[in-house]
Each structure stands twice: as C-alpha cells, then as structure tokens.
Structure 1
Amino acid sequence: MLTVQLIPPTPDVADELLRFETDNRAFFEARINARPPGYYSLQGVQAAIEQARRDSAEDKGYQFLMRDAAGVLVGRVNLAGVRRGQFQMADLGYRIAESAGGRGHASAAVRLVLAKAFGELGLRRVEANARVDNEGSVRVLLRNGFTQFGRSTRSFELGGVWHDRLHFERHAD
C-alpha cells in the first residue's frame, strides 16, 4: 500500500508550497479554473495558508498537503464548505503534481482524509465532482467508495469550453 502523509499547511512551508503551485500551474490550469494571479507570490501563498488556518479554526474547511514516503510534496487535498446542523457534510477536492500522477497518491490521500472526515470531524457525508473526461479522478472516487448520484451538463467553463461534471457522494459507514 502506498504511503502518504497529510499535514495542514503552515507558514514554514510557504516557499515549498509556492514552488509546488508554480511548477504545476500550467498542468492545473489546463484542468481547473486558475487561481488569481496574486496567489503566485510568497505573499499570496502566505495569505492562503493563513486563510486555511482560519477556516480550520472556524470549522469551515480543512486543507492538507500531501507528502510521499520520501517527504516530497506531491499534492493537496481538502474538505471545503463544511456544513453542520442537519447536513454534517463537506466537499472534497484534490490536486496532484503532474510528476506524481497515476501512482496512487490521490487514492491514498482521499482514503486518509475520509477517515479524518468521518472520524475526528464527525461528518456524515462528503461530496465530490469530476469532469466527465477526468477518468483518473473518477477512478480515485470510485476506489474510495463514492457513488455517482448525478451529472450536470455544461456546468463548468474552462478556457471558453463548457464541460459536464459527474457528482459523487460518500457516506460515513
């Protein structure tokens, strides 16, 4: 089984996180909407880390950096939009470095973050979505027990092209 470690982003990893995001910027932006240009600076990443820390403290969202067995930053995974009350749910997102794709890092990280979501955080439901043509992401979700519950047409615009999305859910055991 592939070993990955999830750690919350902290100010001491800002340089490394900026390098990760800059090195993979074109790869990510070909698949998902771009971050604001100001993000790609040390100050931008530091502000994002501080926002992630506030979101966690306020139980709004949880971000994690993904390290492989050698300690290399290979991705990110997050639980966003935490909704308590009658919902007890969040939305799952993840991104893997281009050089680390297809090696099981995303599957391992999603498995770990689901354990945290359904354990320590007490969530009962996690939702995720993927573009129809993102077969790798769909496989990650299915491997981790997600079930597809819908499809939205022309729901995501990237580079002037509209894409369909598949919607998935996973419930606490």
Structure 2
Amino acid sequence: MFGLSLLRRDSPALKGERVILRLPVAGDYAAWAALRGESRAFLEPWEPTWAPDELEKAAWRYRLRRYREDFSRGAAVAFFIFDRQSGALLGGLTLGNIRHGVARSGHIGYWIGEKYAGQGYMAEALDLLARHAFETMRLHRIEAACIPGNTRSIRVLEKVGFTREGLLRSYLKINGGWQDHYLYALIADDPRGARARD
C-alpha cells in the first residue's frame, strides 16, 4: 500500500517499498541531465527525436514550466522516480491526456535510466501511479502505447496488469520515424488490474 503525502500544496508524493514518486522541481536539473545524458543511446530508439538543446538548462526550465502548467490545469501529472533508500533519480513517468467526465481516463508515458533498467523499479512506479489514478484521481482507465519491438516495456506493462488491446498503426513519430504501437490499458474494475488497487 502506498501513502499519499504533500511535499507542498497540491504536490503529491507517492511512496512505495523501494521508490518514491514526486513532482520534478528546479533542483532536480543536474541529476536529470546526468541520467538522461548517460542513458541517451538506451533511450533514443523509444523516444521522439532529441532537440539539439535537449539537456540544456533553458530546455529544462521550459519542461518544468510545462509540467507545472499541465498539472495546474488537471491535464497531466509528471513524476520523477527516486530510489527510496539512496535518493537517486531513477527515471520518470507522466500521466497525461487526462480526460474527466464520461471518459475518466489518462495515458501513461515513462522512461528509466539505463543502469536502473530491469530491476523492478518501473513496475513498482507504474503500480503506484495506477493506484493513484484509480483511488485518488478516480480515473476509470489508463492507457500506455508501446513500440512492438520494445520487449522490456511490454514485459513491464504486462507485469503490472495492463492488457494489450490492439495495434495503433503509424501512431507516434519516434526517433525520426512514424512507428506502430501496441495499445495497452488497465481498467479500474478489470480483475487483471486488481493488484493495482489492493
């Protein structure tokens, strides 16, 4: 079970056994730039083309401003993933395209530093975010899209309980080219997603 605490007004921090998820702050820049920089070759095949100034401080400030604006509008919430014991930045995930009303849904995107991949951190982080989405935000459905060749990402989604629903043809422009994606979803009342609500 996770605890929901407030680092400051309206800033959720989600705590798991090994990870803490919290909103990015200005002081995270050095750790973020270092981890993204050393993991670039690992991340690039699965992400939009990096801008020439991707890791520069001005680009970071713009990114942080966008995170805050999206959060204040209720459109998205971005979290950084930290190791609960060491405090090291491990990666990040965002619940975006949040829709309320009859849809009550959102879309998850995520990344992890290469040296932390395959150690269960992302599965725990996704599980925490699913709990937050269903229990606190009262969403009904969360989705994730994954390039068919990204076997690591597929394993993580399926481990958490996401179900593959279909193939989205030429869905997102990733690393310079339009890529097909599998669509995965987790439903609040789907028995296969039950572990995200226990």
Instruction: Decide: shared fold, TM above 0.5.
Output: yes
**Corresponding residue of 2:49:** 34
Return the alpha-carbon distance in structure 1 between the equivalents of residues 123 and 180 of structure 2. 23
- Distance change (3 Å), C-alpha of 1:135 and 1:86: same
Offset at residue 21 of structure 1 (A): 2.1
CA contact (8 A) 1:81 1:91 kept: yes
Structure 2 gap ranges (5+) = 1-15, 190-198
Percent of pairs with identical residues: 27
Offset at residue 24 of structure 1 (A): 1.9
Return the alpha-carbon distance in structure 1 between the equivalents of residues 21 and 100 of structure 2. 23
Question: Following superposition of structure 1 onto structure 2, how do residues 1-173 of structure 1 map, counting pairs within 5 Å?
Answer: 3-68=18-83, 69-158=85-174, 163-173=179-189
Matched residue SS, 2:53: helix
How many pairs align?
173
Return the alpha-carbon distance in structure 2 between the equivalents of residues 148 and 5 of structure 1. 27
Tell me which amino acid in the other structure corresponds to 1:20: L
Return the alpha-carbon distance in structure 1 between the equivalents of residues 176 and 54 of structure 2. 22
Offset at residue 86 of structure 1 (A): 1.2
Offset at residue 44 of structure 1 (A): 0.9
Q: For structure 1, which segment, 29-38 or 86-95, has the greater mean C-alpha deviation from structure 2 after superposition? A: 29-38
TM-score, normalization: structure 2?
Answer: 0.80
Tell me which amino acid in the other structure corresponds to 1:71: G
Offset at residue 158 of structure 1 (A): 4.2
Matched residue SS, 1:40: coil
| CA displacement, residues 40-73 of structure 1 (integer Å, 9 cap, x when unaligned) | 2011112211210111111010100001231111
CA contact (8 A) 1:2 1:104 kept: no
Pairwise CA RMSD of aligned residues?
Answer: 1.9
- Distance change (3 Å), C-alpha of 1:158 and 1:61: closer
Offset at residue 109 of structure 1 (A): 0.5
Q: For structure 1, which segment, 13-22 or 39-48, has the greater mean C-alpha deviation from structure 2 after superposition? A: 13-22
Matched residue SS, 1:168: strand
Offset at residue 37 of structure 1 (A): 2.4
Tell me which amino acid in the other structure corresponds to 2:137: L
Return the alpha-carbon distance in structure 2 between the equivalents of residues 52 and 40 of structure 1. 16
CA contact (8 A) 1:15 1:42 kept: no
Offset at residue 28 of structure 1 (A): 1.2
| CA displacement, residues 22-50 of structure 1 (integer Å, 9 cap, x when unaligned) | 22223211222223223320111122112
Offset at residue 90 of structure 1 (A): 0.6
Matched residue SS, 2:58: helix
